[in-house]
Amino acid sequence: MIYATNGAGDCKNAVSIKNLTVKYRETPAIAGVSLDVLEGDYLGIIGPNGGGKTTLLKAILGLVMPSCGEISVYGKKPGKSEKLIGYVPQISTLDKAFPITVRQVVQTGMLKPSFTLFHQYTQKDKEKADEYLNRVGIYKLKDRMISQLSGGEFQRMLIARALAVEPKLLLLDEPTASVDASSAEQIFSLLSELNQSMTIIMVTHDLLAVSSQVKTLACMNSRLVYHGGTQLNEEIAKALYGYPIDFLKHGAMHSV
Amino acid sequence: MLLSLFQYQFVQNAVIASVFASIVCGIIGVIIVEKRLIMMSGGIAHTSYGGVGLGYLFGFEPIIGALFISVLAALGIGYVKRRGGTRSDVVIGLFWSFGMALGILFIAMMPGYPPDLTSYLFGSILSVTRGDLYFMAIFTLIVVLVITILFNYWEAYMFDEEFASIIGIKTAFMEYLLFVLIAISVVVLIRVVGIILILALFTAPTAIAGLLAKNLKLRMILSIIIGSLFCFAGLWISYVLNVASGAAIVILLTIAYLLVYIAISFRFRNEIN
């Protein structure tokens, strides 16, 4: 994979980040990151905890304000790009006991920004929701309460909800963090399939995914340590984590 | 004997007031329990005491003062929470005490003998007047309408506020709206259980319904029914034993919650074994 540079040939940038710094009070979570993500790319972002990965996603989504620097998503400012991005949050941020069915969750992705009084989901909305559930492979579970789902099923439901937005760009925050190995594999093959029609940015701890699934890789430790192809070497890892790590061990980074 | 009670106007009023209180509690209670805004609601409720004092000092209806101050407190707490600078529980704690302190100050500044404020603090459902009922009816209607008109948006907001805001739904507006609804609910509830005991009516029926109902709408409806039943029972006890209605209702609700909780955890344990 070629290093993604600005305006290369026919390729368009899905996301373009210039010299981004995000501070929480005085502590910078991200310091001077410039990064272009080409349309059709499948970018994996890795790095230690507290390395600013999630903050970067939130900045792209417009949930945190940059202290300086610029971000554009398909030429629009973050926060003005509502129907362009489908977001898949970490499972742990959600309440699994919330009384709602799988299909209802997917339908919330279809809500329009302006309020419609007495809004009801139409028959067409329901059919569309079923279609997305079918696409992620959990159509059978459409009427289940979300409390009855396994980690992998829950994650796929969140992907279906993100698809319901009909986005051009999919952002995922650790989609395999609370999922067993075989579900993780299914999720990755689903993402590869989705990548044929949309750009994907994924924050992950899963080194296996990094080496086998994504097209390009970004390594963050508040700065952008590396951006390019998926062949990591020990030097980069050392810059990232402060010591060499074993690339073959699945999930080794959890101990960092 | 129970039926003959209904001949009295004040008993009829009390029953109607209980229903209104249970409706706002059922609806708003489900939302604040799910969004973990219980302490904030407590803060708004207690701040309204300042408004009661203000009403007595300047000689207008204390409930109007309570509404005014609790809406202000709701907006203030909401603003601080959104800014995120100061930790919001610090601000809630301060508002909580500050409102009550203001109430005491205003009452002390009043000329003549101080009025008896226990009915505002602990509720006095048997002294609810026709006029109070009209007030409560209007506020209950506002709460029911605002929630039903935007129900699907509330559901999305409650399940995942962040996602809702990303797809462009105005979640900041919804949050302020919710805080104002909490303030309005507090005013409906003051006459029934009083400022100090409001939290039990917000949380217990909802929590019991939460253990039983699996759908958001059903959960709201069930907590309205549970709330009403316990208000009626509490009302009867308060009439028979001549204790404050709020205390009777709250004690019943708490015991009921504990019993349901124990029953459910027993069943859960049996399922595991």
Residue B46 placed within a domain:
yes
Residues B124-139 pLDDT 10s:
888 888 988 998 999 9
Residue B2 placed within a domain:
no
pLDDT for the residue A235:
65
The residue of chain B with its CA nearest to that of A167 is B167
Structure-token match 């075989």, residue found: A182
Burial group, residue B86, by CB count within 10 angstroms (0-12, 13-18, 19+): exposed
Are B161 and B1 in contact by the 8 Å Cβ rule? The answer is no
* Distance between CA atoms of residues B37 and B42, nearest Å: 9
pTM: 0.88
- Which of A95, A104, A113 faces B167 most closely, judged by CB atoms? A113
Model confidence at B170: pLDDT above 90: yes
Taking CB atoms and an 8 Å limit, are A111 and B169 in contact across chains? yes
Residue B73 placed within a domain:
yes
* A30 contacts: CB under 8 Å, gap ≥ 6: A20, A21, A22, A52, A55, A56, A59, A220, A222
Are B26 and B221 in contact by the 8 Å Cβ rule? The answer is yes
Q: What is the DSSP letter of A83?
A: T
Pair of tokens at residue B138: 């209007």
pLDDT for the residue B157:
96
Model confidence at B79: pLDDT above 60: yes
pLDDT for the residue A249:
45
Tell which residue, B54, B27, B61, B70, has the closest CA to residue B129.
B61
> Which ipTM score applies to this complex?
0.86
* A58 contacts: CB under 8 Å, gap ≥ 6: A64
Mean pLDDT throughout B118-127? 85
pLDDT for the residue A25:
76
Set of chain A residues whose Cβ sits within 8 Å of the Cβ of B162: 63, 87, 89, 93
Set of chain A residues whose Cβ sits within 8 Å of the Cβ of B153: 111, 115, 119
Residues A86-138 pLDDT 10s:
999 999 889 998 999 999 999 999 999 889 999 999 999 999 999 999 999 99
pLDDT for the residue B181:
96
Domain that holds residue B106: 9-272
Give SS3 for A100. coil
Q: Could you tell me how far CA A140 lies from the centroid of its own chain?
A: 25
pLDDT for the residue A250:
47
Model confidence at B271: pLDDT above 90: no
pLDDT for the residue B273:
52
Phi, then psi, of A70 in degrees rounded to 5:
-135, 145
Residue B28 placed within a domain:
yes
Per residue of chain A (256 residues), give pLDDT as tens.
444 444 444 457 889 999 898 888 778 888 888 899 999 999 999 888 888 888 999 999 988 889 889 999 988 888 777 788 999 999 988 999 899 999 999 999 999 988 999 999 999 999 999 999 999 999 999 999 999 999 999 999 999 999 999 999 999 999 988 888 888 888 999 999 999 999 999 998 877 777 778 888 888 888 887 777 777 666 666 666 666 555 544 444 444 3
Residue B1 placed within a domain:
no
Residue B4 placed within a domain:
no
pLDDT for the residue A7:
42
The residue ranking higher by pLDDT, A208 or B20, is B20
Q: Which of A58, A100, A145, A163 to mutate to test the interface with B (most CBs of B within 10 A)?
A: A100
Residues B177-195 pLDDT 10s:
999 999 999 988 888 888 8
What string of DSSP letters covers A16-72?
EEEEEEEEETTEEEEEEEEEEEETT-EEEEE--TTSSHHHHHHHHHTSS--SEEEEE
User: Any idea what the CATH number is for the domain that residue B134 is in?
Assistant: 1.10.3470.10
Residue B104 placed within a domain:
yes
Pair of tokens at residue A241: 């984590």
Model confidence at B245: pLDDT above 90: no
Average pLDDT taken over every residue of chain B: 89
CA distances from A56 to A33, A166, A171, B10, B230 (A): 9, 22, 11, 61, 50
By the CB < 8 Å criterion, does B158 face chain A?
yes
Residues of A with CB under 8 A from a CB of B: 61-63, 82-83, 85, 87, 89, 93-95, 98-101, 104-105, 108-109, 111-113, 115, 117-121, 145, 161, 165
Cα dihedral across residues A98, A103, A104, A105: positive or negative: positive
The C-alpha angle with vertex B223 and arms to B221 and B224, in degrees rounded to 5, equals: 65
Residue B217 placed within a domain:
yes
What string of DSSP letters covers A118-181?
T----HHHHHHHHHHHHHHT-GGGTTSBGGG--HHHHHHHHHHHHHHT--SEEEEE-TTTTS-H
Tell which residue, A222, A220, A203, A171, has the closest CA to residue A23.
A222
* Distance between CA atoms of residues A85 and A93, nearest Å: 19
Split into its structural domains, chain B has a count of 1
By the CB < 8 Å criterion, does B153 face chain A?
yes
Cα dihedral across residues A25, A46, A214, A166: positive or negative: negative
The residue of chain B with its CA nearest to that of A161 is B163
Pair of tokens at residue A253: 């980074």
